[in-house]
Copies of this chain bind each other. A is one copy, B any other.
Amino acid sequence: MAVPQRDAAGPRPTSRDVAHAAGVSQATVSLVLGDKWRGRVAEPTAERVRAAARTLGYRPNLAARSLRTGHTRTALLVVPALTNDFFAGVYTGAVEVASAHGFGLVLYPSPTGIAPARDPFASARAALDGVIASSMAVESLAELRAGGLPLVMLDSDASDTATVNFDIADGMRQVARHLLALGHRRIAHVASAVDSWTFAVRARALAGAVAGSGARLVRTERCELSVPGGLAAATRALAGVPGPDAPTALVCDDDLLAAGALKAARRLGLRVPEDVSVTGFDDLALARAVEPELTTLRLPAADMGAAGMRALLAELAERPGSSGPSAAPAATPTAASASSAPSAPHDAEAPESEKEGGRETVLPVTLLARASTGPPPTP
C-alpha cells in the first residue's frame, strides 16, 4: 500500500526521470540520493527529490553505479557446504555486519559438484569487492588470490592474508581436561582426514594435553567428514572395548563424526557414556538431536562471520581507490526512520582477542558438557 512501486512498470525510472519530475538536474538527484548533499543542496529541494523518487518508485541501477564507481559493495563468502549449521552461522554473522555497512553478501558453496573450471566463482556471477573464504572450501589459496581481490581467510594459518580463527588449541585442551577430570586414561582420536589447519591443530593440541597427564592417546582413526565416515572410523577405534588397552573415550573432530561414533557404539552393543564417552566439536544442531546429547565445543560461528566481514571491510578501507565503509544503507529511498539504532553488532565487544595491529583475529570457544561423557567404566 505505502510501497510505491509502479505496478505496470514501464522500463524502470532512471535518475533522470526523477530529476525531471522534481524539476532539478540529474546530478542533483545523484547527490541527494547518495547522501552527499550536506551544504550543496537546500533541504526543501532535497525533499522534493526524495518525494519524486518515492512516487516514481525509483531504484538505482546497480550496474551503472558499479560501472561508474568501480566497486559493487558486494562481498563473497566461500564455504565448503551449505548443510553445515556452522557455516550457516558464519553466514548469518557476516551478513549482519555487511548489511550494517551497506554491503551485500553472496554465498558460494564450494563443492557443488560443478567443475570450477578456470573461474572459481563462475556460478556466483556477481562482481565482487572482496572475498571471505573458509580454508576448508578452497584447494589452492593461490587460485583465490589470483583474482586480485581483497581476501580474508577463515580457519587458516595463511600468514600473508588476514585470518579469523577460533582458539582451537585451547578448545581441545578443554576437552582433554574434561575427560581427564572424569578419570579417563585411554583416549582415542576420531580425526577428520581433511587436510586443514583447524584439524591439524586439533591433533597437536590433543596430543599435547594428554602427554604430561598420565593418560595415553591409544588410537587415531582418520575418516571423511561425515556421519558414515565417523561410524566407520569409530568402529575401528572401538575394537576391543571394553578391554585393558582399548580407549574409554572417543574424542571426535566434529559433531558429525561424534554422531557416527554414537551409532558405532550402539551397533557394538556399547552404552554411551557408561561404556565409552564421546565428545564432538562445533555444537551443531545435530549434537542435541542425537541420543545421548553430545558433549561438544561451542564455536561462536556468527562471531567468526562478523569478524571476517569486519576484517574485509578494514582491508577495503585501506585500499587506494576504494570507498571506505559507510553506515548509509544505500540509496534505496526508504522512510528514514528505523525503529532502533542500527548498531553494528558486537562492534566494541571484549571477548574476541585481536592481535593489535595484526591481521589475525582469534575467537574463544567454550566447552558444553552434556550426556555423552561420563566416568570411565570401573572393571
Contact = CB atoms under 8 A, between A and B. Distances in A.
A32 B22 CA distance: 43
Interface in A110-129: 112-114, 117-119, 122-127
Given A64-B67, A126-B125, A126-B126, A291 B291 contact: yes
A118 B62 contact: no
A254 to B, nearest CB: 13
A126 B63 CA distance: 9
A155 to B, nearest CB: 18
A92 B112 contact: yes
A45 interface: no
Nearest to A91: B82
Given A63-B127, A124-B104, A285-B227, A113 B98 contact: no
A18 to B, nearest CB: 17
B63 A91 contact: no
Interface string A51-65: 000000000011111
Interface in A124-162: 124-127, 143, 146, 148
A96 B329 CA distance: 33
A27 interface: no
Interface residues of A, number: 64
Interface in A247-305: 259-260, 262-263, 266, 285-286, 288-291
A203 interface: no
Nearest to A126: B126
A200 to B, nearest CB: 26
A96 B112 CA distance: 8
A143 B5 CA distance: 10
Contacts of A106: 106-107, 124-126
A61 B67 contact: yes
A113 to B, nearest CB: 6
Residue in A73, A107, A123, A288 with the greatest tally of chain B CB atoms within 10 Å: A123
A3 interface: yes
Interface string A1-21: 001010001000000000000
Contact of A96 (B74, B95, B113, B126): B113
A367 interface: no
A109 interface: yes
Residue in A63, A227, A262 with the greatest tally of chain B CB atoms within 10 Å: A63
A180 B142 CA distance: 59
A104 B83 contact: no
21 contacts: A3-B118, A3-B143, A5-B146, A63-B66, A67-B67, A72-B125, A74-B125, A82-B83, A92-B112, A95-B123, A96-B112, A99-B122, A104-B125, A104-B126, A106-B124, A118-B334, A228-B288, A260-B289, A263-B289, A290-B290, A291-B291
Given A99-B114, A286-B286, 5 more contacts: A63-B65, A82-B91, A92-B113, A122-B329, A290-B290
